Structure 1
């Protein structure tokens, strides 16, 4: 009840702030689309979704007004804080390196609801509230709708969707639940310091060692039969070029240097590269140029221009950037509302 009261107060404050902006009007079509998206997440139709909500005590017109406020608030916060929420390329690349390093670990696709003890009257009140919510969901209330209505986590606006979570990156109590739950199962309330979680396990997958790397190269031809002096000359030539090379100019430099060939190797699974290239592909920092590498074809310089975790569900640079920016916006929105 306290969580619902807090949500109602927060909605009223947001409505008052939105009323100050005459140009910020959310249309019925935008609300209809939001309901359609929520229904799709719950794998049902919009009509069935609304019926679920009404059985849980939320009238259709009340739901529509809540969503109208949510949409308007996202637009307001996005317009006001978008520049402050932007993330740098270095932040995105660091996050992608962490994802790549975690690619060999088990991963969990989860939904979360978090009741913050300080907002509902203490830890016991949060536990009691979580037990009530679990009962409602067991009786048929959609998880996404309950998360939107009651969760204090930043994922509430997405129906509690926390995406893929890597083993070992959450609190021990949550990790235990992740290991025990099977896809499609809902947890009992999980007390943690400061509040209580409810977890819905949507899917699980084993880690994959696949790592994709984008590389370019220049080389001086020197077959296996080449004299040591020729190999040394090729190596010296490439060492002289190396300090001025980048991913952006390496191929252009190859066209201007006599006896030097250049090629874009594109994006490939590290395991499929030539053995001599694999160590560079795995260990070198993105944006760096390797020392000369000897193969049966010649002497090479390798530019590592990108790296990401592989597999069909691996996020792209743009997806990671969007996720980090949305996290920043959620934090700024909470500060703004307070």
Structure 2
């Protein structure tokens, strides 16, 4: 007998359960199952169940070897339930199952089932005590499932076919959606009206954002593996390493985040938006500073878990100036004679006289033999080569420089656009909403931690 926090470390090594999973008549086809961020939260991101009558666990075929996987406050989680949840995780995460990843799916599936049992047990207690309805009705669950099917451009019957083709009983998703909807409703209803974001908090956040406005900003997607749920830091780190490997092999980051992340952003596929230094743990800030757009981080241990971050984009601070440039150039080696340089200069001056600016620079240059034109894209002025930097600073948009000599040739540079980098500061209401969401998420995590600590769980 143990507390809920001890569950992952007490999982059986999986001989019986994995046999149940991999020996089913229907094969797993990860690519066939669409994944989405359900409105109710990460637990509801999965293929849809039928919009007809609520599925009953008693009507679904059960394996003959079904046994007890765990007992949560006298409620049974069967090996069938566990195998079904593993299938659902595999189908919606995009991760290819293997002997290395199955134990992680087993651990995550059992933790999710334990949490859902604890949540529903708590909601039933509150309903009885306060004589109120909290748990989602069949009609509400059916409506959510119908919405999930529509967002995947499928009918409910087609969604059911996706489930069935992967050996997943529709009641598995039905129960998951019910638990997630009900719990989100209770947390929002109980704490949403009680939480207050003070003006001092908003002003402090505004001051921080202003202080880092000149620093780079990062557009980030994140996965947070909660060490408490994973059974400790070693298990969290191992799980994060496996997820990084799977993402590198093609598993969609949003799908992985929805099913494995403990961060509030899990419901939106891990999308944390644009963040400034200081908004994430220092260890994550340090990692972001070393990443280039499009790169995935290695696992990043923090105080209570392990982060995986994907840097989608990066922009310079508000104090920098960005320019869009085009050029027309004549190739000349550094050892070119004065006569060759003079001839190239005359050619480029002719191009300069004939062009109106960025719009026709390339077409005009194409008519001059030996002149090559191209778009240099957008860059921060401070990052430009010294030869181009003065022209980019002094020219207005639409103007073209005189020929500039470099080691490789003679160039005309056209400034096509110039603007200050960095986004506008968040508004008062945007900051208030962000802080409120962070507080609500923290309260919900503490609530679940208390439920786990007071629960009695047996694993078999």
Shift of 1:331: 1.5
1:125 positional shift: 1.6
Question: 1:105, 1:312 → 2: CA distance?
Answer: 12
Q: Which residue of 1 aligns with 2:143?
A: 29
Which residue of 2 is the match for residue 160 of structure 1? 270
Alignment pair present for 1:333 and 2:447 = no
Separation in 2 of the partners of 1:50 and 1:165?
39
- Deviation, 1:172, is 4.5
Q: 1:9 aligned to 2:124? A: no
Select 1:134's aligned residue among 244, 249, 252: 244
Is structure 2 residue 237 aligned with structure 1 residue 123? no
Relative to structure 1, the CA distance from residue 60 to residue 187 in structure 2 (aligned partners, 3 Å threshold; closer, same or farther) is farther
The offset of 1:333, in angstroms, is: 1.4
2: CA distance between counterparts of 1:60 and 1:331?
Answer: 32
User: 1:165: Cα distance to partner?
Assistant: 1.9
What's the CA shift for 1:78?
Answer: 1.0
Rate the CA distance shift 1:328–1:168 in 2: closer, same or farther, 3 A: closer
- In structure 2, how many angstroms separate the alpha carbons of the residues matched to 1:139 and 1:59? 28
Choose which of 315, 319, 323 in structure 1 pairs with 2:430.
319
Secondary structure in 1 matching 2:426: coil
Structure 1 residue ranges without an equivalent (≥5): 211-309
Deviation string, structure 1 residues 262-307 (Cα, Å, up to 9, x no partner): xxxxxxxxxxxxxxxxxxxxxxxxxxxxxxxxxxxxxxxxxxxxxx
Please say which structure displays the higher CA radius of gyration: 2
CA contact (8 A) 1:147 1:159 kept: yes
Superposition deviation, residue 95 in structure 1: 1.5
Moved more, 174-183 or 316-325: 174-183
CA distance in 1, matches of 2:252, 2:246: 9
Report how far residue 140 of structure 1 moved.
3.6
Structure 2 vs 1, CA of residues 325 and 169 (structure 1 numbering), >3 Å: closer, same or farther? closer
Cα distance in 2 for residues equivalent to 1:67 and 1:149: 13
1:56 deviation in Å?
Answer: 10
**Is 1:186 paired with 2:186?**
no
Match of 1:195 among 305, 314, 321: 305
* Residues 37-48 of structure 1 aligned to structure 2 (within 5 Å): none
Q: Distance in 1 between matches of 2:190 and 2:316?
A: 41
Q: Tell me if the contact between 1:113 and 1:198 (Cα under 8 Å) persists in the aligned partners.
A: yes
In structure 2, distance between residues paired with 1:190 and 1:52: 35
Q: Which residue of 2 aligns with 1:111?
A: 221
RMSD, aligned α-carbons = 3.7
Structure 2 unmatched ranges of 5 or more: 1-103, 321-420, 451-460
How many residues matched? 233
Q: 2:259 aligns with which of 149, 162, 179?
A: 149
Alpha-carbon distance in 1 for matches of 2:430, 2:447: 25
Query: Separation in 1 of the partners of 2:222 and 2:193?
Result: 28
> 2:190 aligned with 1:80, yes or no?
yes
1:274-289 alignment runs, 5 A limit: none
SS at match of 2:301: strand
TM-superposition CA deviations, 1:156-196 (whole Å, max 9, x none): 34432323221255445323321232333322222334432
Structure 1 position 113, deviation (Å): 1.3
Change in CA separation of 1:96 and 1:67 when aligned onto 2, cut-off 3 Å: farther
TM-score under structure 2 length normalisation:
0.43
Rounded Cα–Cα distance in structure 2 between residues aligned with 1:32 and 1:59: 17
* Secondary structure of residue in 2 paired with 1:179: helix
Question: Does the 8 Å CA contact 2:213/2:422 hold for their aligned counterparts?
Answer: no
Shift of 1:132: 1.8
TM-score (norm. length: structure 1): 0.57
Distance in 1, Cα, partners of 2:165 & 2:267: 21
Q: Could you give the per-residue CA deviations for residues 188-234 of structure 1, whole angstroms, max 9, x where no partner exists?
A: 22233443211111221111149xxxxxxxxxxxxxxxxxxxxxxxx
Distance apart, 1:83 and its partner CA: 2.5
- 1:226-270 CA deviation, whole Å, 9 max, x = no partner? xxxxxxxxxxxxxxxxxxxxxxxxxxxxxxxxxxxxxxxxxxxxx
